[in-house]
Amino acid sequence: MAYVVLARKYRPRDFHEVRGQDHTVRALVNALDFDRLHHAYLFSGTRGVGKTTLARIFANCLNCEAKISSTPCSDCIACEGFQSGNYPDMYEVDAASRTGVDDMRKLLENVHYSPTVGRFKVYLIDEVHMLSTASFNALLKTLEEPPNHVKFIFATTDPKKVPLTVLSRCLQFHLRNIEPDVIKEQLEAILTHEDIKFDEDSLQLLARSAQGSMRDALSLTDQAISHGGGSIAIDSVAEMLGTVRTDEVVEILNMLVKGDRSATLAFVNQLSRQAVSFTDLLENLQRTIHELALAQIVGQADTEQLQPFVGKFSAEWLQIAYQILVVGMRDLKYAPDHKIGFEMTLVRLLDFEPVTSITSEPSSEKNEQSAHGVGSGRGNEAKSKLASSESKQVSKTENVDSQTNMNAVQSTRTPDTGDDTQQKSPVSNDNNVDREVALKNPIVSSLIENFDAHIVDIKRT
Ligand SMILES: [Zn+2]
């Protein structure tokens, strides 16, 4: 027997087999079981979420010889006809290839004649938004007052392009993108049924790569089976998709913890030689940072490999890192090439420091803190509190200590301000390094600018 691709072989035949579209299924089931049928339906949603499948099941339910219900008997001639894709009263039209008004007129020519064998004539028009204006007008007349034996089902990936006059005569259902977990579950069931070996990670990767489309997931799985020579393993799936595995993300996290710039750049070169998709890698890093930020709250990461990194990064750094990755992703299209864009994002991750304190700290604590604000989470938190309380203190001008401290800072910056200030300065030369660090702090530098303005005002008065 000829090989049938998974997407066709496992296309749902009744509502129970449809995955991830519960709200639409429920509405259709109720309409059928309580005999509240409309004459026109519109299913919208991206490719491969089940628009045509639902339309066919619905048409089958309408025409089952036993009775109209959400559970067709699957034994009668009508049910068999639908299952073999050969039912005389089902008219499937692809509007993408038959957009012209003549095609539409031809299709609607016999609309008033009774169905050949069934209860209803069902017209399924796929990609209905592709019809020409003249075609829509031709359709509209019938849609306004259709004969009782006619049902229209429209499917579209772009409902905004369907004229409002048509939309208002249809019951609309928007089919959602299917959740990766739901896709994964379905893949697992199918592969078990097909007796094909697989591992959890590869299914997760396939489910995520499908971006909400069950058909895409099944096509990718077919491809993965061929690529893996009859079984599915994470290495071959990652290679096939050119995507990034968690291992690579973990490697990058390690380098970020160490602040190892040269190793990071060497690793990017290596990834580039492996033709890794940098877009996927950025996306993966975003997911990872998100997971770590959540893990910081609940105390545990979903992915086992990320568990050692929980608490290694401060909450502030994770926020900044996420933002940097979002911007990096957005700007990837402006970079000369993806590798350069990715490299710049990584360098930014290494360089950005969310918190700098102007207080001098014991050198041991400083050593714990690596150059880019990564270190013990708790340490950083404490540091951040210190810095914020410090800035509050500094902003109170009546606080003498901070004022003199600011004078000292200012005297370093502008030594020609006046001898008095320099003489009053209580800060010893040992603190020069700390002053330099403090000057780099944006809070301090903005305060100094304000302070300068005050000095000028005072001198004027
Ligand atoms: Zn039947």
Report the pLDDT averaged over residues 401-411. Answer: 42
Residue 122 token pair: 């069902």
Distance 401 CA to ligand 1 centre (A): 89
Distance 64 CA to ligand 1 centre (A): 4
Would you call 139 helix, strand, or coil by DSSP? helix
pTM over 0.85? The answer is: no
Report the pLDDT averaged over residues 79-98. Answer: 91
Residue with tokens 């399924």: 124
Predicted pLDDT of residue 372: 46
Contacts of 310 (CB under 8 A, 6+ apart): 292, 295, 296, 299, 300, 301
Are 213 and 46 a contacting pair, CB within 8 Å?
A: yes
HEC profile for 146-192?
CCCCEEEEEEECCHHHCCHHHHCCCEEEECCCCCHHHHHHHHHHHHH
Residue 70 token pair: 């959400």
Distance 62 CA to ligand 1 centre (A): 9
Residue 361, pLDDT > 70, answer no
Distance 116 CA to ligand 1 centre (A): 16
Would you call 92 helix, strand, or coil by DSSP? strand
Predicted pLDDT of residue 101: 86
Within 13 Å, how many C-alpha atoms sit on residue 182's CB side?
16
Distance 89 CA to ligand 1 centre (A): 14
Residue 120 token pair: 């209803």
Predicted pLDDT of residue 406: 42
Which stretch, 183-197, 261-275, 297-311, 410-424, has highest mean pLDDT? 183-197
Bridge partners for 112 per DSSP: none
DSSP class of 42:
E
Instruction: Report phi then psi at 135, rounded to 5.
Output: -65, -45
Distance 105 CA to ligand 1 centre (A): 31
Distance 82 CA to ligand 1 centre (A): 9
Predicted pLDDT of residue 91: 93
Distance 453 CA to ligand 1 centre (A): 86
Catalogue all structural domains in the chain, each as residue range(s) with its CATH number: 6-174 (3.40.50.300), 180-241 (1.10.8.60), 246-351 (1.20.272.10), 386-460 (no CATH)
Report the pLDDT averaged over residues 372-393. Answer: 42
Predicted pLDDT of residue 68: 93
Predicted pLDDT of residue 432: 60
Instruction: Report phi then psi at 171, rounded to 5.
Output: -85, 125
Percent of the chain with pLDDT over 70: 76
Distance 28 CA to ligand 1 centre (A): 17
Report the pLDDT averaged over residues 258-280. Answer: 87
The lowest-confidence range among 182-191, 197-206, 248-257, 418-427 is 418-427
Predicted pLDDT of residue 223: 92
Looking at per-residue confidence, does 100 or 391 come out higher? 100
Distance 70 CA to ligand 1 centre (A): 11
Distances (CA, A) of 316 to 28, 293, 312, 354: 48, 10, 12, 6
The residue type found at 126 is D
Q: Report angle CA 219, 220, 223 to the nearest 5 degrees.
A: 90
Q: How far apart are CA 135 and CA 144, in angstroms?
A: 14
Q: How far apart are CA 306 and CA 295, in angstroms?
A: 9
Q: How high does pLDDT run on average in the chain?
A: 81
Distance 77 CA to ligand 1 centre (A): 7
pLDDT band with cut points at 50, 70 and 90 for residue 456: low
Q: How far apart are CA 29 and CA 44, in angstroms?
A: 18
Pick from 372, 394, 403, 369: nearest CA to 383: 369
Per-residue pLDDT reduced to its tens digit, 160-216? 999 999 999 999 999 999 999 999 999 999 999 999 999 998 999 899 888 899 999
Distance 69 CA to ligand 1 centre (A): 10
Looking at per-residue confidence, does 26 or 370 come out higher? 26
Residue with tokens 């078990």: 192
Cα torsion through 296, 302, 308, 310, rounded to 10:
-10
Distance 14 CA to ligand 1 centre (A): 11
Find the distance separating the first CA and the last CA of the chain, reported in whole Å.
98
Would you call 123 helix, strand, or coil by DSSP? strand
Per-residue pLDDT reduced to its tens digit, 282-323? 998 998 999 899 998 888 887 778 888 888 888 889 999 999
Residue 118, pLDDT > 80, answer yes
Distances (CA, A) of 86 to 57, 68, 82, 107, 215: 13, 19, 6, 18, 22
Residue 446, pLDDT > 60, answer yes
Residue with tokens 């049924």: 193
Looking at per-residue confidence, does 275 or 314 come out higher? 314
Residue 18, pLDDT > 60, answer yes
Bridge partners for 173 per DSSP: 43
pLDDT band with cut points at 50, 70 and 90 for residue 388: very low
Contacts of 88 (CB under 8 A, 6+ apart): 81, 116, 117, 118
